[in-house]
Chain A
Amino acid sequence: MKKYFAALTTTALISAAPFAFAASSTDLTVRGTITPVACTPTLSKATLELGKISAGDLNTDKNTKVGIHDLQLTVICDAATKFAVNPIDNNPSPSFTTVFGLGLGNKGEELGFYHPKVMKVMDGATVLDPIESADDGATWSKAAEAQPGYLLSVATVGETDPANARNVTIDFEVDSYIVRADSLDLTDEITIDGSATFEVKYL
């Protein structure tokens, strides 16, 4: 019997060896999906014009609202699908992380910000709720505005999960603000320069 036990022990060690090798490797997974569905986003205006704002009209000690613009984002898909809009701030200001930046002044000071508030969401004739996700679509909650870093999607009224939709319009009111004038160098003209991209992300 002793021989049997010895044999068993040896075998156990040998069979353990492949597992020891396995610890010296690690796996890589590359995944994704190519979907035949295509959605096209369109904005009702390519530029929101704030015009020429006089330094004298700015509050010295608090933000000044300098613009209120209606903006409509339309997303048309060739089949009903779940999607989100990824709002990207192309000119982000370090201090304004949940709103869009208006660029920097001549001394590098942050000029201000704008934020698109969601007023109404429709899929064809059906009213939907706006929802947002800060974790790339893992979890969703009710949304009130488009924010950089948050996916914006649509849900059946009262729900917070993305719904299939095909012909979505999102009506925004975009409010623009300039920071308190005493924080700006206003000796020369300053160019206000906000830029954002709305990218469709398929869910």
Chain B
Amino acid sequence: MKPIPITLATVLLSTAICAHAASVVELTVNGTLTPVACTPSFSNNGLVDFGKISRQDLNVDKRTQLRDETLDFGIHCNLPARFALIMRDNREGSAITNSEIYYGLKFDGSGNKIGLYSLRFDPVNTVVDALPQVYRTDSTTGGRAWSTSRSTPIPIAARSYLGFTDVPASTAGPIAIRNLSSRITLQAVIAPTSTLDLSEDVIIDGSATLELIYL
């Protein structure tokens, strides 16, 4: 219900603008409403649970890589769409290495960074519509320029766009896709236990949002 009073205020403002028609300044708001709708989804509701890990199974003076976890993910569109993926870190600033490909696992009771994880996308484990092969291409410029498409794995990133094409060695960017399914590998790393406060249980609490950007 709260939006309604705000609306009334907006109407008042626009009335005010009309009253001073001679002093108007124009603002243009651009955009496109697309009939395309794509829905991304992860298997297991996007939950990766490492369970309870004993301190004795973690390295004291160096990082410990946990077992790889795989996640299936799919994108289903009502019409073929050109899109790219990014994944935002909802625990930004808590990864033990600062990079757009590393996501945080939050902090222990004393504010120490617990670790990091990354998600490896592999074109070889990816099926797009009826295409015989899929290549990945990425853009660090928000979709203006695209890297040469390849079939090698790449980590999903928070800012660089990840797109898909059926054309090898192409810089033309992503093609329109209706259905994509892939198996990605999640690799988690825990900080040296000497840097953690283990006087009590440390809760691993990573959260990220995979976003689809329409191109």
Contact = CB atoms under 8 A, between A and B. Distances in A.
B105 A7 contact: no
A15 interface: yes
Contacts of B53: 32-35, 202
B37 A23 contact: yes
Interface string B54-93: 1110100000000000010100000000000001001000
In this complex, the interface size class of chain A, counting residues with CB under 8 Å from chain B, is 20 to 34
Secondary structure at the A interface, as helix, strand, loop or mixed, is strand
B54 A29 contact: no
Contacts of A4: 8, 11
A3 to B, nearest CB: 7
A24 interface: yes
B82 to A, nearest CB: 13
Contact of B54 (A3, A15, A38): A38
Given A29-B48, A30-B204, A31-B48, A23 B39 contact: yes
A34 B56 CA distance: 10
B10 A24 contact: no
B210 interface: yes
Interface stretch (B121-129, B133-141, B195-203): B195-203
Contacts of A27: 42, 46, 90, 207-210
B7 interface: yes
Contact of B212 (A11, A24, A37): A24
Given A26-B40, A27-B208, A28-B48, A34 B10 contact: no
B84 to A, nearest CB: 11
Contacts of B188: 30
Contact of A29 (B8, B47, B58, B119): B47
Which of the listed residues A26, A37, A202 has the most CB atoms from chain B within 10 Å of its own CB? A26
A3 B126 CA distance: 51
Nearest to B49: A31
B163 to A, nearest CB: 15
Given A7-B10, A30-B186, A36 B55 contact: yes
Contact of A33 (B52, B209, B212): B52
A44 interface: no
Interface string B96-119: 000000010100000000100101
A30 B117 contact: yes
A15 B207 contact: no
Contact of B38 (A24, A28, A36, A201): A24
A188 to B, nearest CB: 39
Nearest to A78: B56
Nearest to A15: B3
Given A24-B212, A35-B53, A30 B207 contact: yes
A25 B209 contact: yes
Interface string A168-197: 000000000000000000000000000000
A11 B10 contact: yes
Contacts of A203: 52
Contact of B39 (A7, A24, A38): A24
9 contacts: A24-B211, A26-B42, A27-B209, A29-B46, A29-B206, A30-B205, A31-B206, A33-B202, A201-B52
Interface of A: 3-4, 7-8, 11, 15, 20, 23-40, 200-203
Interface of B: 3-4, 6-8, 10-11, 14, 37-42, 46-56, 58, 71, 73, 87, 90, 103, 105, 114, 117, 119, 186, 188, 190, 193, 196, 198-212, 214
Given A24-B214, A30-B186, A34-B196, 4 more contacts: A20-B37, A25-B211, A28-B42, A30-B208
The 5 closest A-B pairs by CB, nearest first: A32-B50, A30-B206, A202-B52, A38-B56, A32-B204
